Amino acid sequence: MPSTTNYDALTRTWTRMHHLGHLQAIANWDHAANMPPKGNEARAAALAEVATLLHGLRTAPELGQRIERAAQEDLGPEQRANLREMERQWRAATALPAALIERQQLATSRCEHAWRGQRPANDWRGFLANFREVLAVGRETAQRLADQSGLGPYEALMDRYEPGARCAQVDAVFGEVRQWLPGLIERVRERQARETVVEPRGPYAPAAQRALCLQMMKRLGFDFDAGRLDVSAHPFCGGVPEDVRITTRFREDDFVTSLMGTVHETGHARYEQNLPRELLGQPVAEPRSMAIHESQSLSFEMQLGGHPGFVRGMAPLLVQAFGDQPAFEPANLCRLLTRVKPGCIRVDADEVTYPAHILLRYEIERPLIEGAIEPEDVPALWDAKMMELLGVDTRGNYRDGPLQDVHWPEALFGYFPCYTLGAMYAAQWFAAMRREMPGLDARIDRGDLAPVFDWLRARIWTQASRWDTGELVRRASGETLNPAHFRAHLEARYLG
Shortest distance (Å) from residue 58 CB to its own copies:
15
Instruction: Kindly write down the DSSP assignment for every residue of 227-261, as one continuous string.
Output: EEEEE-SS--EEEETTEEEEEE--BTTBSHHHHHH
The 277-296 site mask, x for binding its own copies (CB under 8 A), equals ---x----------------
Minimal distance, residue 352 CB to its own copies, in Å: 37
- Min dist. Cβ of residue 94 to its own copies (A): 23
Region near its own copies per CB under 8 A, out of 37-45, 138-146, 192-200, 462-470 = 37-45
Chosen residue from 3, 8, 12, 19 binding its own copies by CB under 8 A: 19
Residue-wise burial string across 132-162, b where 16 or more C-beta atoms lie within 10 A, e elsewhere: ebbbebbbbbbebbbeeeebbbbbbbbbbbb
What's the min distance (Å) between Cβ of 245 and its own copies?
8
Burial grade of 355 (CB within 10 A; 0-12, 13-18, 19 or more): buried
Q: Is 23 in the site for its own copies (CB under 8 A)?
A: yes
37 binds its own copies (CB under 8 A): yes
Q: Is residue 43 near its own copies by the rule CB under 8 A? A: yes
User: Residue 45, interface with its own copies (CB under 8 A)?
Assistant: yes
Q: Could you tell me whether strands 243-248 and 227-231 are parallel, antiparallel, or unpaired per DSSP bridges?
A: parallel
Stretch near its own copies under the rule CB under 8 A, chosen from 26-34, 79-87, 139-147, 355-363 = 26-34
The least distance separating its own copies from the CB of residue 17, rounded to whole angstroms, comes to 10
Binding-residue total with its own copies (CB under 8 A): 34
Interface with its own copies (CB under 8 A), residue from 167, 240, 292, 337:
240
- In terms of Cα–Cα distance, which of 429, 401, 406 is closest to 416? 406
56 makes contact with its own copies (CB under 8 A) = no
Residue 321 binds to its own copies (criterion: CB under 8 A):
no
d(C-alpha 462, C-alpha 452), whole Å: 14
* Residues catalogued as catalytic: 265
Give the whole-angstrom CA distance, residue 238 versus residue 348. Answer: 21
Q: What's the order of all strands across the beta sheet hosting 243-248?
A: 227-231, 243-248, 237-240
Q: Does 444 bind its own copies (CB under 8 A)?
A: no
The stretch near its own copies (CB under 8 A) out of 240-248, 335-343, 424-432, 438-446 is: 240-248
Residue type, 251: R
**What Å distances lie between residue 394 and 389, 399, 413, 427, CA to CA?**
12, 9, 22, 30
Segment (H or E) for 421: helix 417-436
Residue 222 or 354 having the CB closest to its own copies = 222
Q: Do residues 6 and 66 make contact, with C-beta atoms less than 8 angstroms apart?
A: yes
Ranges of H-type helices in 323-408: 330-337, 354-370, 378-390
Minimal distance in Å, beta carbon 38 to its own copies?
4
Stretch that binds its own copies, among 122-130, 221-229, 330-338, 362-370 (CB under 8 A): 221-229
Which C-beta is closer to its own copies: that of 225 or that of 253? 225
Contact residues toward its own copies (CB under 8 A) are: 16, 19-20, 22-24, 26-27, 30, 34-39, 41-43, 45-46, 48-50, 53, 223-228, 240, 242-243, 280
